[in-house]
């Protein structure tokens, strides 16, 4: 595997970091209108319609994570045969479960802060309630349509689906190449429910796979041998990113614009970080802890400490506060996980 054909881990971490901050922004000011109203949040210096549009745009974070899943797993699956691809998918699933179950257990221990949330499991008796908790604990509540302690965890079911889909998707892309990207772009017009995550994000996933298999990063690298070419490609990728983002904000077309935004966004970061040498270290830190922040931030701002998080009143200060608190909690949780040697348990290494 030629590393020059792919973007570096620094690019991946930076992209994840930016995506997780966009997620915080989206959830704070678009997905929580009741809290925004209750705590009289100010949009200054922006008008509220602009902040509303931008916070809705923040949902692009999901497409970025899906694109990175397609890209990263394609890079790792590419050199492997069918059996090893199956084993890799299982190991990736166990790694996901390792992190999620640990945080789920911590969440249940913290449930005394909002005990009514546990009651949703037990509306049909204690025996079924335990089963529903088990579904939620392994990230399958959204798959079964059962109660979950945290609505943000819907993505866990989708992430598990993507992990087991990837060996098949990679094989299809190897066989049919750009045709699979075209099918992914058009599939919602032919009987696939456009409201489902699979339909919405399939194009983003497919573009991620294509970008890895085509060695797009290597091709850009080969054309950026001098400083002028690097800055030209950087400007082009930025212009396309802004263009696709503007189309998404004004007219939608989310199935297509999400994927194209992700592609140009990652191209921009690749040129900026790997070719020009700029480091966005704070975003790299957020990227390193993005999974933990994703799993816990809703508990902080919505379930347990709403009045504290929204206390600054101004949207920017609220975002900074939640980002800082979420990152601090992630540090603590990951430190505890290392202390108890959670990742060393045999169950995660079958």
pLDDT, residue 278, reads 96
pLDDT, residue 92, reads 96
Q: Do residues 322 and 300 make contact, with C-beta atoms less than 8 angstroms apart?
A: yes
Max Cα–Cα distance, the chain, nearest Å: 68
Please state the pTM of the whole predicted model.
0.96
**Residue 340 pLDDT > 70, yes or no?**
yes
**Residue 191 pLDDT > 70, yes or no?**
no
Tally DSSP H helices, then E strands, for the chain: 18, 0
**Residue 194 pLDDT > 80, yes or no?**
no
The pLDDT-based confidence of 1 (bands split at 50, 70, 90) is: low
Integer Cα distance of 95 and 343 in angstroms: 9
How do residues 230-255 score in pLDDT, each as one tens digit?
999 999 999 999 999 999 999 999 99
Spatial CA neighbour of 317 closest among 20, 24, 23: 24
The rounded Cα 4 to chain-centroid distance in angstroms is 25
Query: What is the residue extent of each domain of the chain?
Result: 3-80+164-349
Neighbours of 335 (CB within 10 A): 9
Percent of the chain with pLDDT over 70: 99
Integer Cα distance of 19 and 211 in angstroms: 19
Beta-sheet strands, E only, within the chain: none
pLDDT, residue 277, reads 95
How do residues 196-225 score in pLDDT, each as one tens digit?
888 899 999 999 999 999 999 999 999 998
Q: Do residues 287 and 13 make contact, with C-beta atoms less than 8 angstroms apart?
A: yes
Tokens standing for residue 273: 């970080």
The pLDDT-based confidence of 31 (bands split at 50, 70, 90) is: confident
**Residue 3 pLDDT > 80, yes or no?**
no
Non-local CB neighbours of 309 within 8 Å, separated by 6+ positions: 28, 300, 301, 318, 321, 322, 325
Integer Cα distance of 171 and 144 in angstroms: 28
The pLDDT-based confidence of 66 (bands split at 50, 70, 90) is: very high
Region 303-322: mean pLDDT is 97
- Give long-range contacts, CB 8 A cutoff, 24+ apart: 215-218: 215/2, 215/5, 215/6, 216/267, 217/4, 217/5, 217/6, 217/7, 217/270, 217/274, 218/2, 218/4, 218/5, 218/6
Q: In degrees, to the nearest 5, what angle opens at C-alpha 192 toward C-alphas 189 and 197?
A: 110
Integer Cα distance of 301 and 306 in angstroms: 5
Non-local CB neighbours of 197 within 8 Å, separated by 6+ positions: 62, 158
Question: Chain-wide mean pLDDT for the chain?
Answer: 94
């Amino acid at each position: 595997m030629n590393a020059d054909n792919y973007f570096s881990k620094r690019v991946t971490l930076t992209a994840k970091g930016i995506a997780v901050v966009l997620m915080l922004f989206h959830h704070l000011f678009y997905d929580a209108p009741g809290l925004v109203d209750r705590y009289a949040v100010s949009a200054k210096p922006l008008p509220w319609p602009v902040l509303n549009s931008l916070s809705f745009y923040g949902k692009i974070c999901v497409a970025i994570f899906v694109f990175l899943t397609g890209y990263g797993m394609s890079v790792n699956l590419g050199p492997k045969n069918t059996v090893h691809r199956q084993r890799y998918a299982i190991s990736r699933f166990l790694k996901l479960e390792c992190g999620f179950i640990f945080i789920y257990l911590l969440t249940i221990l913290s449930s005394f802060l909002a005990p009514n949330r546990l009651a949703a499991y037990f509306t049909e008796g204690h025996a079924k309630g335990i089963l529903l908790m088990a579904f939620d604990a392994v990230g399958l509540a959204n798959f079964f349509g059962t109660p979950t302690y945290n609505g943000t965890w819907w993505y866990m079911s989708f992430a598990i689906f993507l992990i087991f889909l990837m060996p098949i998707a990679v094989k299809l892309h190897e066989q049919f190449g750009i045709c699979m990207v075209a099918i992914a772009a058009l599939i919602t017009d032919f009987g696939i429910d456009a409201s489902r995550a699979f339909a919405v994000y399939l194009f983003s996933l497919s573009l991620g796979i294509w970008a890895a298999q085509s060695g797009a990063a290597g091709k850009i690298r080969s054309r950026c041998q001098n400083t002028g070419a690097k800055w030209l490609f950087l400007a082009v990728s930025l212009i396309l990113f802004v263009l696709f983002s503007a189309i998404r904000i004004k007219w939608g077309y989310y199935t297509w614009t999400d994927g194209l935004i992700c592609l140009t966004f990652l191209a921009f970061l690749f040129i900026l970080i790997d070719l020009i040498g700029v480091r966005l270290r704070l975003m790299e830190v957020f990227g390193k802890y993005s999974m933990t922040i994703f799993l816990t931030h809703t508990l902080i701002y919505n379930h347990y400490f709403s009045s504290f998080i929204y206390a600054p009143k101004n949207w920017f200060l609220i975002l900074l506060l939640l980002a800082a608190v979420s990152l601090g909690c992630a540090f603590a949780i990951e430190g505890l996980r290392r202390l108890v040697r959670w990742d060393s348990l045999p169950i995660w290494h079958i």
